[in-house]
Structure 1
Amino acid sequence: MKKETQIGYRVSAICGAVALAFAGLHAMPAQAHGKNDVKHVLLISFDGLHEQDVARCIGSNACPNLALLAKSGVTYTNAHTPHLSDSFPGLAALLTGGSPKSAGLFYDVSYDRTLYAPLDSTCTGAQGWNVVFDETTGIDAKGGGPLINLDGGGAFNPDAIPYAKVGGVCTPVYPHNYIKTNTVFEVVKEHIRGSRTAWADKHAWGYDWVNGPSGKGVDDLARTEINSIDPKTGTYYLDTYTHTEVFDNIHVQALINEIDGLDSTGKTSAAVPTVFGTNFQTLSVAQKSPVADNGGYLDADFTPGPQVAAAITYLDGALGRVVSELKQRNLYSSTLIIVTAKHGQSPTDHTKLVKNGDTLTKLLEASNYLDSSGNFGQNNTTTGNLNDGSGLSGTGFVQTDDVGLIWLRDQSQKDAVVKTLKANLGCTAPGICADGPQAYILHGERLEHWFGDPANGRTPDIIVQPNPGVIYTSSKSKDEEHGGNAPDDSHLGLVVSFPGLHHGGRTDDRYVYTTQVAPTILSALDLDPDLLHSVQVEGTRTLPGLGIEHEHSQDRD
């Protein structure tokens, strides 16, 4: 029997009458014309985009292109990340329908107790590896080399690839092997005949996981590395937000090429992708920039400072270019457009900013829960370069930004560690600045419910959410960060737009997670959302308020 889903494109007069009858209980849902109106889905992540940014810029006409999309869609005012907001879990939510519990992605720098070091190709040494899938995953970084190529050197850095025993065989674990669930790209490739998929992101090789476990989900994965050197200037794309625009423009052009029937490089003819999209970094860089340099926000009301205001103007212009190309190629009316973010940024209110250094790691080291000299994971490589393959195995690890993820060296010490943390909650050294009402130390049953059992090897033993505004750093180069579950990290902008929707231009204030984007994409393409493994495991629902039901088949011609 064919399963009914929450979104789709076969609407009867009876369904319309029912919707009208319940209009008094909730705003009238959007509706679309026919079953197969949506032929393409474009997903765009403006990293750092808060819901308040969307409301403010639309209200002030600072983002006219996004406002036009909102007029033919639904704006979700209460959308949130699934408890963690690093780029990896943030994008995994959008592409898999799952939180770290099922997707297995907690951070681009994390730890897995079951893995072996990249130099241990026989899997005979100690288990437990500090996995780093970031800019150093490209071969340019091998041996600590400079990241001189936009494509990261054109291959994986072999020293960044750990090993696992699979069926008794010592097997390399590439990023696409590391993710534990399938992606929308894989489902579309398997179930829509003749489909094509494309994606572009900020790290050329670390984001290989978007391919999913098959390693083949994305036909056109643009290998672009934001940490590489711009050959025109000899400087990094991340040095200023205006230079980050240069990098983001590469992604804009990739989308335009794909809309025009070419691959992302513009060199080869290719079908217009069924599902495609990209990530933008300009806003994130402007938000992190110190207030003294006109970065970030002016107040707790999300009034943008000069850099953030300029970044939002740039992003809206980029969005306008892409939408204009869709219209020019007669694809706009058949393309569902989703604008959201992997994560927000914290703190928006800089009066809450606290940078006391990495007091969490220092406390763990001082208490001998991690090596007292910092010799754990990839903090102790032979060359001093990250991802040279020689870091220590089996040492445990701690990852900090505006959150602390703790993988203990000795899991039997968990209760003692929690006791030590609770005894040092204040903001005076050696305190971890987690004494406020929105801070917590997550462990035990609650942690397992949210993120899975640490005994399985991937989930941290303890997660520390400090007071909103705390960043575990002394860096003077940034005044905002992300990764945790502070309100400014997790409350995101989300606009779903399709010109065929009736009763568009609505807002929906129900609490939703960004995990609901992935099943919505599949359902819009007339595919069963349960084809995503994370959707089955976590019971993820499609986004509400679009209000269109349909019957679908497992495969689509």
Structure 2
Amino acid sequence: MNLRLKAGIVAALCTSFALVACGGSDNGSPPPNAIAGAQHVLLVSIDGLHQQDLANCIAAKTCPSIAALANNGVTYSNAFTPGLSDSFPGLAALLTGGSPKSAGLFYDVSYDRTLFAPADTQCTGAQGWNVVFDETTGIDAMNGGDLTHLDGGGAFNPQAIPNAKVNGVCTPVFPHNYLKTNTVFEVVKQQMANARTAWADKHAWGYDWVNGPSGKGVDDLARTEINSIDPATNTDYTDVYTHTETFDNFHVQAILNQIDGKDSTGKTSVGVPTVFGTNFQTLSVAQKAPNADGGGYTDAQFTPGPQVAAAIAYADGAIGKMVAELKAKSLFSSTVVIVTSKHGQSPADHTKLVKNGDTLAALLEASNFLDSKGNIGQAATKSGRLNDGSGLVGTGFVQDDDVGLIWLRDQSQMASAVATLQANLGCTATGICADGSQASILSGAALAAKFGDPAQGRTPDIIVQPNPGVIYTSSKAKDAEHGGNAPDDSHLGLLVAYPGLQAATNATTVSTTQVAPTILKSLKLDPNALQSVAAEGTQVLPGLGF
């Protein structure tokens, strides 16, 4: 065949059918709408950012910086958390590519039947410890002390660190040891010469787990504690959303410093991180604020109230500063920017709010599945504050917000406990308010398949998902919560932006676990180097030309 004619036929076929053989990643040339040549990834998590928040603010032109990213990005309209929406499993999804089943994080306050108390340094006593890796993980909280330093006191609180037998040796379990699988930070450092990593979050020492099991994944982990006392106000940074902005500004400045090639403090020149990012809390605080005070939303369509509107504008402005600095340093064209969230907030529709009190724990206590007087784990400390080292061992535990995670004192009582819960489903003074079509009581084989085997010690025995809108609290200080799998706390905003991408909305149902392998793929690294990705078969996000 005439070579010129043959070439014309091949070109026509390529144009008509977009054959792989004509180009694309198989011959080294990326497709026209793809992430190619990325050298950095900036991950921004905005606690509470629902998919509806993202869509509404772009449509209303109230988040111009995010909208500008979306002009060169893929917006995922059906992104969801992997079954639980507390900050720990939410961030673990983004950084490990796994659900609680593989990563092992269910809540920042949880329980593990295999662990020994912090004071039991020989691992000879009873097992079953109420693990608390929150603001009290910093040394300021030792002996129930006040949280007086922004950096949590500059070290771990030894009373917060339980012990485990590892190869027959009694060994401290720091937060990074508690995470069961590796993180994107560890993989990047292992697979890329001279790579640098950085992260900033809300708890100075509780978020040590982002380092991964090696304990060394993050080169620059900003130690900032949102519950520390601000000397300017004598309150912590969560009292009102405008004060939370002050805290989040520490993280904005950390990112700007890192874009400039310095560490988070701005004091030392170290080079721009390969993977870095931060978390914002302002929106979450505004969403939780009482509806009567302007918190939350005004209707079921996620129309923001005054506080939420201002918080979204704040987050957008913060992202705008980061993008402007990336451009100023000629880094924007080589940086993938991912905007998403660890969790949403429930309920958005205030008419669905039901504050049911602590009925779940009360029912379990009254039925003798937990101590009848509430002497449970770290609720029974000498100082009355968590993590003073005097909590009780082997008590079982309940963690409840808009979900109920139940670790029974005696696992042989599981069938009886489930029967008791099922007999009290109504929204009564003693009921658990789980009688609707979207409520569930998960246990047994179904729970093990989704979250792992409770017999191994970490997974709850029972997970109660109450009716959407139910919060197990009587608090007047908040009208929304998260932690479970209600529609409003599990359906999140997710945007992946890069100059090589064309604006698109992808309606494929995806999980936030897919962010982690996407980060690695963007840098031409192997996503399966993430242990959770390999274990759960997590895929990269679609529509990015990989």
Note closer, same or farther for the CA distance 1:401–1:328 as it changes in structure 2 (3 Å cut): same
Q: Which amino acid aligns with 1:545?
A: G
Q: Which amino acid aligns with 2:512?
A: T
In the TM superposition, 1:349-388 aligns within 5 A as 349-388=349-388
> How many Å apart are 1:13 and its aligned residue?
11
The residue number in structure 2 matching 1:263 is 263
Q: Does 1:99 align with 2:68?
A: no
Q: Does 1:482 align with 2:482?
A: yes
CA contact (8 A) 2:34 2:545 kept: no
Q: Which amino acid aligns with 1:519?
A: P
TM-score, normalised relative to structure 2: 0.95
1: CA distance between counterparts of 2:14 and 2:424?
A: 58
2:42 aligned counterpart, secondary structure: strand
> How many Å apart are 1:15 and its aligned residue?
8.3
The residue number in structure 1 matching 2:6 is none
CA contact (8 A) 2:35 2:522 kept: no
Deviations 1:495-544 (A, max 9, x none): 0000022xx11000010000000000000100110000000000000001
The residue number in structure 1 matching 2:503 is 505
CA contact (8 A) 1:401 1:473 kept: yes
In the TM superposition, 1:156-555 aligns within 5 A as 156-501=156-501, 504-548=502-546
1: CA distance between counterparts of 2:39 and 2:120?
A: 46
Q: Which amino acid aligns with 1:164?
A: A
> How many Å apart are 1:461 and its aligned residue?
0.3
Q: Which amino acid aligns with 2:438?
A: Q
> How many Å apart are 1:389 and its aligned residue?
1.1
1:230 aligned counterpart, secondary structure: coil
Deviations 1:296-318 (A, max 9, x none): 00010000000000000111000
Give the % identical residues. 74
Q: Which amino acid aligns with 1:214?
A: S
1: CA distance between counterparts of 2:15 and 2:470?
A: 49
> How many Å apart are 1:365 and its aligned residue?
0.3
Note closer, same or farther for the CA distance 1:17–1:282 as it changes in structure 2 (3 Å cut): farther
CA contact (8 A) 1:85 1:489 kept: yes
CA contact (8 A) 1:31 1:546 kept: no
CA RMSD of aligned residues (A): 1.6
> How many Å apart are 1:380 and its aligned residue?
0.8
Structure 1 segments unaligned to the other structure (5+ residues):
1-11, 22-29, 549-557
Instruction: After the TM superposition, list the runs of 4 or more consecutive aligned residues in structure 1 that deviate by more than 4 angstroms.
Output: 12-21, 30-36
Residue correspondences, number: 527
Greater shift after overlay, 380-389 or 535-544?
380-389
> How many Å apart are 1:36 and its aligned residue?
5.5
In the TM superposition, 1:46-57 aligns within 5 A as 46-57=46-57
Q: Does 1:154 align with 2:154?
A: yes
Q: Which amino acid aligns with 1:323?
A: V
> How many Å apart are 1:31 and its aligned residue?
4.4
Note closer, same or farther for the CA distance 1:19–1:120 as it changes in structure 2 (3 Å cut): farther
1:480 aligned counterpart, secondary structure: coil
2: CA distance between counterparts of 1:192 and 1:15?
A: 35
CA contact (8 A) 1:118 1:162 kept: yes
> How many Å apart are 1:232 and its aligned residue?
2.7
1: CA distance between counterparts of 2:280 and 2:31?
A: 30
2: CA distance between counterparts of 1:430 and 1:101?
A: 31
1:75 aligned counterpart, secondary structure: strand
In the TM superposition, 1:79-94 aligns within 5 A as 79-94=79-94
2: CA distance between counterparts of 1:43 and 1:328?
A: 19
1: CA distance between counterparts of 2:37 and 2:193?
A: 17
2: CA distance between counterparts of 1:131 and 1:365?
A: 20
1:236 aligned counterpart, secondary structure: coil
Deviations 1:457-505 (A, max 9, x none): 000000000000000000000000000000000000000000022xx11
CA contact (8 A) 1:397 1:407 kept: yes
2: CA distance between counterparts of 1:426 and 1:13?
A: 66
2: CA distance between counterparts of 1:55 and 1:35?
A: 23
Q: Which amino acid aligns with 1:378?
A: Q
Q: Does 1:112 align with 2:99?
A: no
1: CA distance between counterparts of 2:73 and 2:34?
A: 16
Q: Which amino acid aligns with 2:168?
A: G
Deviations 1:417-444 (A, max 9, x none): 0000000000012100000000000011
1: CA distance between counterparts of 2:294 and 2:35?
A: 49
CA contact (8 A) 2:44 2:338 kept: yes
Note closer, same or farther for the CA distance 1:74–1:17 as it changes in structure 2 (3 Å cut): farther
Q: Which amino acid aligns with 1:526?
A: K
1:199 aligned counterpart, secondary structure: strand
> How many Å apart are 1:203 and its aligned residue?
0.1
In the TM superposition, 1:101-140 aligns within 5 A as 101-140=101-140
Deviations 1:224-274 (A, max 9, x none): 000011233332111110000000010000000000010000000011000
2: CA distance between counterparts of 1:14 and 1:517?
A: 35
Q: Which amino acid aligns with 2:354?
A: V
> How many Å apart are 1:390 and its aligned residue?
1.1
> How many Å apart are 1:356 and its aligned residue?
2.0
1: CA distance between counterparts of 2:160 and 2:12?
A: 57
CA contact (8 A) 1:357 1:473 kept: yes
> How many Å apart are 1:385 and its aligned residue?
1.7
CA contact (8 A) 2:48 2:343 kept: yes
1: CA distance between counterparts of 2:233 and 2:416?
A: 52
TM-score, normalised relative to structure 1: 0.93
2: CA distance between counterparts of 1:527 and 1:421?
A: 47
Q: Which amino acid aligns with 2:363?
A: L
